[in-house]
Amino acid sequence: MILILLGPPGAGKGTQAQRLEDKHGLIQLSTGDMLRAAVAAGTEVGRQAKAVMDRGELVSDDIITGIISDRLDQPDCKSGVILDGFPRTEAQAEALDRMLADKGMKLDAVIEMKTDDKVLVERITGRYTCAKCGAGYHDKFLKPKVDGVCDKCGGTEFTRRSDDNAETVKSRLNAYHAQTAPLLPYYRGKGILKQVDGMAPIDEVTAQIEAVLKTI
């Protein structure tokens, strides 16, 4: 199964993708995570991407589609993937259509996580991640069961993203509305767009996504 989770930064894509991985054995492909790994590793791609990401703008379509195409060729993706943060432009969506056709793969559904912009700054500025296993948390909305200890791996170190600040969030939301929101009519036209209420509590969003999966 190939799914796209589509929504603005902070909509809950990564949170729900981690749950889909755990429950259905799908692989989360987050282009943001891949770029952050490239930045941390100091690769050429990472070097080019870092300044763009810090400004809250979008990295070039060629870099992104190259990364995704290579990743889809790896054997673990045969069991199915959740695309999180990709595609983000019409050029990326068209490139995805072409690469899936070339690889004999099919896009099953695009799930829009509908949210109001007004909740996103609080979600993003409160977000943090386990440094050991990458599990996502929130200062207010998703705390670990034991304060300071990761539920999943017991890790005690956590990180926050440098672009998760109120200033950069504004540019990232502008980029979403200008460049990514036009993908909604693109996928509606293909008859594969589904919607869930991204404003609902996290467990309720999970339940809505599970209900959508039953219809596929």
Which does residue 35 touch among ligand AMP, ligand ADP, none (CB within 5 to 8 A, set by kind)? Answer: ligand AMP
78 to 107, contacts with ligand AMP by CB under 6 A? 85-86, 88, 92
**59 forms part of the interface with ligand AMP (CB under 6 A):** yes
Q: Which is nearer to ligand AMP, 3 or 64 (CB)?
A: 64
User: Which helix H or strand E contains 155, and what residues bound it?
Assistant: none
Query: Which residues are annotated as catalytic?
Result: 13, 88, 127, 161, 172
83 to 142, contacts with ligand ADP by CB under 6 A? 123-124, 126-127, 136-138, 141-142
Runs of H (alpha helix) within 104-165? 120-125
Residue 17 CB contacts under 8 Å (≥ 6 apart), including other chains = 5, 28, 30, 82, 84
Q: Which is nearer to ligand AMP, 52 or 105 (CB)?
A: 52
Q: Which of 135, 27, 16, 8 is nearest to 82 (CA)?
A: 27
**35 forms part of the interface with ligand ADP (CB under 6 A):** no
| Whole-number Å distance between alpha carbons of 137 and 42 | 26
The 10 Å CB-count burial string (b at 16+, else e) for 121-158 is bbbbebbbbbeeebbebbeeebebeeeeebeeeebeeb
- The CB-of-215 to ligand AMP minimum distance in angstroms stands at 26
Residues that bind ligand AMP in the complex, under the rule CB under 6 A? 9, 31-32, 35, 52-53, 56-59, 64, 85-86, 88, 92, 172
